[in-house]
């Protein structure tokens, strides 16, 4: 399901909260192909071959008082192909709107933050005619996430580590009309290691490897759970302007598809405006 592509995006807020006025903005695109397809909203999904694409916008902006706002949006397209009949079933439209507020925890020596993130579906109920893929999970999810990290200088370069753990509350605020309400809350996790090389004072970009997922202690037959690893590479084109590429493999999932994805985008990192 296409919601997994949004979760696979390499850019996301972590324990480092940006200064007031500093920002990170990324425009990107993703492609996902399922190796094992599972969509609870599709009748007779066995044998269908699924691919999906996303056009995404992601932004982080630093605020006063140690706060940071995070916003994301997407336009989604999904396609089911039946190799027996040759029929193609398409779904397209706005994806999920993501809203988040991150707070820098000042009492700790190491970088740490607390965040509240909401995922709001912009589609009707994510369920189309039989054999058409859903655009995502049609209910509002709210995550409470604690993050910690550390950056270590290695010569003229930097190596960093990130650990995140959260609780996903499936609110039932927008229940799907054609599905039973999803009642299983989940646990989210994210581990990342990265390297930011430089030559003199000039940053060359960064490379990162991630492991992340959502674990549902109770399987209600509908709530999506997944585990994935991903790798990303960014090259600095000009001051603050970067080209980014990434690869994702969802190797295990519950009520969702396993498969692989690729993404690419252009990002801009702006520092705190000078006074």
Q: Residue 230 sits in a domain of what CATH number?
A: 2.40.160.40
On whether residue 207 sits in a domain, the answer given is yes
On whether residue 274 sits in a domain, the answer given is no
From first to last of its 275 residues, what are the pLDDT tens digits of the chain?
444 444 444 445 689 999 999 999 999 999 999 998 887 767 667 788 999 999 999 999 999 999 999 999 999 999 999 998 999 999 999 999 999 999 999 877 789 999 999 999 888 654 556 788 888 777 889 999 999 999 999 988 999 999 999 999 988 776 555 556 667 899 999 999 999 998 877 889 999 999 999 999 988 777 889 999 999 999 999 889 999 999 999 999 988 899 999 999 999 998 865 44
On whether residue 103 sits in a domain, the answer given is yes
Kindly give, in sequence order, each residue whose CB lies less than 8 Å from that of residue 11, ignoring residues fewer than 6 positions away: 24, 26, 28, 58, 244, 265, 267
On whether residue 229 sits in a domain, the answer given is yes
SS3 string, 144-184, reads EEEEEEEEEEECCEEEEEEEEEEEEEECCCCCCCCCCCCCC
On whether residue 272 sits in a domain, the answer given is no
| DSSP-assigned states of every residue in 66-127 | TEEEEEEEEEEEEEEE-TTT--EEEEEEE-EEEEEEEEE-TTSSS-EEEEEEEEEE-SSSS-
Domain limits for position 185: 3-266
Give the chain's domain count: 1
Kindly give, in sequence order, each residue whose CB lies less than 8 Å from that of residue 101, ignoring residues fewer than 6 positions away: 67, 68, 69, 70, 115, 116
> Could you identify the residue written with the tokens 């809203």?
99
d(Cα 116, Cα 109) in Å, to the nearest integer? 22
On whether residue 275 sits in a domain, the answer given is no
On whether residue 226 sits in a domain, the answer given is yes
On whether residue 247 sits in a domain, the answer given is yes
């Amino acid at each position: 399901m296409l919601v997994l592509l949004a979760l696979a995006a390499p850019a996301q807020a972590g324990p480092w909260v940006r200064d007031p006025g500093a920002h990170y903005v990324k425009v990107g695109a993703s492609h996902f192909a399922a190796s094992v397809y599972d969509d609870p909203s599709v009748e007779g999904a066995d044998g269908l071959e699924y691919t999906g694409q996303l056009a995404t916008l992601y932004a982080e902006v630093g605020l006063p008082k140690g706060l940071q706002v995070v916003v994301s949006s997407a336009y989604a397209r999904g396609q089911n192909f039946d190799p027996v009949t040759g029929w193609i079933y398409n779904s397209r439209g706005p994806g999920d709107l993501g809203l988040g507020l991150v707070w820098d925890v000042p009492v700790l020596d190491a970088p740490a933050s607390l965040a509240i993130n909401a995922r709001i579906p912009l589609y009707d109920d994510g369920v189309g005619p039989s054999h058409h893929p859903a655009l995502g999970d049609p209910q509002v999810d709210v995550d409470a996430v604690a993050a910690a990290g550390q950056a270590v200088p290695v010569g003229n370069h930097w190596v960093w580590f990130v650990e995140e753990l959260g609780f996903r509350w499936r609110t039932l605020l927008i229940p799907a009309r054609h599905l039973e309400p999803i009642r299983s809350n989940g646990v989210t996790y994210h581990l990342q290691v990265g390297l930011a090389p430089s030559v003199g004072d000039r940053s060359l970009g960064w490379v990162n490897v991630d492991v992340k997922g959502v674990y549902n202690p109770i399987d209600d037959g509908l709530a999506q759970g997944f585990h994935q690893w991903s790798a990303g590479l960014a090259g600095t084109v000009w001051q603050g302007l970067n080209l980014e590429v990434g690869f994702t493999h969802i190797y295990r999932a519950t009520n969702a598809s396993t498969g692989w994805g690729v993404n690419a985008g252009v990002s801009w990192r702006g520092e705190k405006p000078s006074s």
